[in-house]
Amino acid sequence: MEWIDLSIPLKAGMPTYPGDTPFELKPLLRIADGKVCNLSALQMGTHTGTHVDPPWHFVEEGVRVDELPLDLLIGKAYVVSIRGAPAVTADALAAAGVPEDAERLLIQTDNSFSAWDKPHFQPDFVYLAPDAAEWVVHRGIRLVGTDYLSVEQFRAPQPLTHRTLLGAGVIVVEGLNLRALEPGWVRFICLPLRIEGGDGAPARAVARKMA
């Protein structure tokens, strides 16, 4: 079984959440210009592309991104596919056959098949409804992975989904591309950059189907 890269390529012009700092890679030195090496500077938001939301993103007493346990960021995850719906609801999750012992849940939606192909931010992306967030918490899931730039409905009047998940200490991974996955168990690795005291961090995320 091969490892599948679930991360979004970081590049200039990539879609970012409205108001976020656009990604920019600034060349500082280039061998082609007679310099001794190639060297660049990065500018980006902490929630750019594939990234992790630690509880402190929405909960003042919550842990920061560098305090997240590696044991939760690496391990067995269950993949569900919920297609053709504008939102992932508790009913859809209840019908998806998530095993009782699932601690990590990756939710593939239509986002993985269309939103990432578009260069601009898609405000009508599929989101996790607040009742689905409550379902996740009640089921004892500790990490949830979603496939666009926010787990929350765009312009939701209150950030209920974030508050429910992060308030319960559930790690949220956003901005995954889950197109290549099928429902079932995978090995999952998601390592956010160790930004001290960070409210979020870009991550490389990979999965491999379990035999």
Query: Applying CB under 5 A, which residues contact Zn ion?
Result: 47, 53, 174, 200
Least Cβ distance, residue 44 to Zn ion (angstroms): 13
Cα(3)–Cα(184) distance, integer angstroms: 15
57 noted as active-site residue: yes
Contact 72, 52 (CB under 8 A): no
Which one of the listed residues 47, 57, 120, 162 is annotated catalytic? 57
Q: Which residue is nearest to Zn ion (CB)?
A: 47
**Which is closer to Zn ion, CB of 52 or CB of 93?**
52
**Which is closer to Zn ion, CB of 112 or CB of 161?**
161
Least Cβ distance, residue 32 to Zn ion (angstroms): 36
Angle at 74 between CA 71 and CA 182, to 5 degrees: 145
Cα(77)–Cα(210) distance, integer angstroms: 10
**Which is closer to Zn ion, CB of 47 or CB of 142?**
47
List the one residue out of 159, 193, 179 whose CA is nearest residue 17.
Answer: 159
DSSP 8-state secondary structure symbol assigned to residue 94: H
Least Cβ distance, residue 174 to Zn ion (angstroms): 5
Known catalytic residues are 57
